[in-house]
Structure 1
Amino acid sequence: MTLPGRDTIVTYPAGELTTSARVVAVAPHDGGLAVVADRTSIHPVAAAWPDQPADAGVLRTGDGEYAIRDAVVAATDGETLHIGTLPVRPGTDGWAFVVAHLVDADAAVGEGDEVEFEADAATRRALSIGHTACHAASLALNRALAGRWSKSARQDALGAPDFDGIAIATSRIEPMGSVDRYRLNKSLRRAGFDASGLADSLGELAASVDATLEGWVAADAAVRIERDGDGLGDRRTWVCDLPDAPARIPCGGTHAASLGELGRVRVSFEMEDDAGTPVLRMTTRANPPS
């Protein structure tokens, strides 16, 4: 097996579903095969922040078509292919960061083969809408909670205290939505956030976030992905031209082309307990127009 010496070129940030590629490595993995190519249109699960699931899709060769049962970020130093859990950060000198497409063991694919990748359009659209709704909701949540800060805090892309960035514990992108969990711990309170009475005003909080989202969706704010390069490890940024100012958030996921594509967006909140620490759970749901 010859391991790649450069990052996989990724075409999904530009919205592409299909791309032709050359296989550069095939390795056994978890009862199947991990296929690495020089380029791909398949969005993989990231190792550092695995919020967005992988695209559903297929790999086509001259001998057949094979379902991609998962796609994950992998790293190689030229000797070993590390799949899923990476020993170094993307961009580390001497390492290549690649997409490992996981297929069944009987797939007839080998090093040097010319192949085609195709992501499922419906799955991509649903996850892209969910990811864009997640970013918009996080900004609207920061705005709604801005009055609860008594100290200066790190600001978000719109200049509000970045509750989302400071308190986030987990984020999960789902078709047409997302689920985000925020820890209201002692360090957050020491940073100046006042959580008193929050549990009793979740309906008001949701109404405030919903109102902000309704205005942004009505403005049909344009969304684009800016890239430092075409490689998997290159920095990518979600940019949304909101009515007041453009918002910029580092992100490696896929997205809708505008907030108008989200349709009616609503959030709901619940309070949870994590070993004595209160956790605010925000569920975001988009209902795109037919």
Structure 2
Amino acid sequence: MSLPSASTQVTFPAGEVRGSSTVLAVVPLPEDRYGVVTGTTPFHPLDHTWPDQPADTGSLLTADGAELPVLDCVTGGVSPEGELSLGPDIPVRRGDEAWAWLVVHVVGSAAGVGAPVAVGETVELRVDADRRAALSAAHTGCHLLALALNAALAPRWRKDPGRADALGHPDFDSLAMDTSRMDAQASTDVYRIGKSLRKKGFTADDLAADLPTLTAAVNEQLAAWVAAEAPVRVEAPGPELTARRRWACDLPEGHASIFCGGTHLHGLGELAGLSTELRLSEDGSELTAVTTPKRR
């Protein structure tokens, strides 16, 4: 089986949800499924290195009019030896220049029928646009939460931790981040407040008692940013899957950007509201933020 030696080109950073392309490879998978690789795609795959945003779903429309549901979309890596690894089985970090990086669309096939599409065939790719919009809203909300939380927690730093966010505040979000996950309803960010964070200068004294005030401050900032209806964009240096992209938003306080491989809204005017709930674990070692966007 011949596999592409060049990385897939992607159009999802610009918000595309449809496109057409040539099938470059069809890979058999367990459970009568196949991985379809095209030269270009609007589908966003799950990132095996930082799996925060779920994969797009949708369909592939073949030349003979058959519609194949895309059940999943994963990142594939082709090693210098020409071997394909998928998702968590990839042994190197995304972007290793010795590897080719692929978007693999997972489709089903009737048992015993074989591959439902052929190499060289042109297919139309259709992302579930409403689900994409919901995931994009959650991802944009996640980045806004990070900036608002950094600002609200700024007085708790006894010294400069050596890392600031785009708006000049100590970057609690980056320094304390444990996990970040989003779905079609909300984003959930979990922060570790341990010894290493305290050594950098963060104080968690009376954080539990201060949580209602902190939550109110964060939500007030989020509401103000949504009301500003600032434009949002993804800045990409190139079309390849592994290009190092940035989420960017021109907020009233200044230009904000965060490295990000996901999808986003085109502007905050697409939101009717954005709010977060902050929870602190009983031992005070873990802060969780659940941020829920309300789309117009």
TM-score normalised per structure 1: 0.95
Q: How does 1:203-242 map to 2 (within 5 A)?
A: 203-242=212-251
**Number of the residue aligned with 2:155:** 147
Please point out which of 190, 194, 201 is paired with 1:185. 194
Structure 2: gaps (5+ residues):
none
Shift of 1:16: 0.8
% identity of equivalent residues: 46
Question: Who is 1:89 aligned against?
Answer: 93
Residue in 2 that maps onto 1:197: 206
| Cα contact 1:172–1:179 (8 A) shared by 2 | yes
Query: Structure 1, residues 227-259: CA drift from partner, whole Å, max 9, x if none?
Result: 110000111111100011100101111101111
Instruction: Identify which of 242, 264, 286 aligns with 1:279.
Output: 286
Deviating more after overlay: 88-97 vs 260-269: 88-97
User: d(CA) in 2 for partners of 1:188 and 1:93?
Assistant: 33
Question: How many residues are aligned here?
Answer: 287
Find the residue that maps to 1:42 and give its secondary structure: coil
Which TM-score applies when normalising by structure 2? 0.93
Worse-matched range after superposition: 253-262 or 156-165: 253-262
- The corresponding residue for 2:58 is 57
Q: Is the 8 A contact 1:183 1:277 kept in 2?
A: no
Deviates more, 1:37-46 or 1:104-113: 104-113
Q: CA RMSD in A?
A: 1.4
Q: C-alpha distance in 2, partners of 1:172/1:161?
A: 22
Post-superposition offset of 1:288: 2.0
For the pair 1:101 / 2:108, whether they are aligned, the reply is: no
What corresponds to 1:19 in structure 2? 19
Runs of 4+ in 1 over 4 A off after TM superposition: none
Q: Deviations over 1:108-160 (max 9, x none)?
A: 11221111110011101100111001100110000000000011121011110
Q: Give the equivalent residue in structure 1 for 2:295.
A: 288
Aligned partner of 2:178 in structure 1 is 169
Q: Do structure 1's residue 120 and structure 2's residue 117 form an aligned pair?
A: no
Partner-residue secondary structure (3-state), 2:210:
helix
Offset at 1:277? 7.0
Given that 2:160 and 2:201 are in contact with CA atoms closer than 8 Å, whether structure 1 keeps it comes out as yes
Query: 1:176, 1:245 → 2: CA distance?
Result: 28
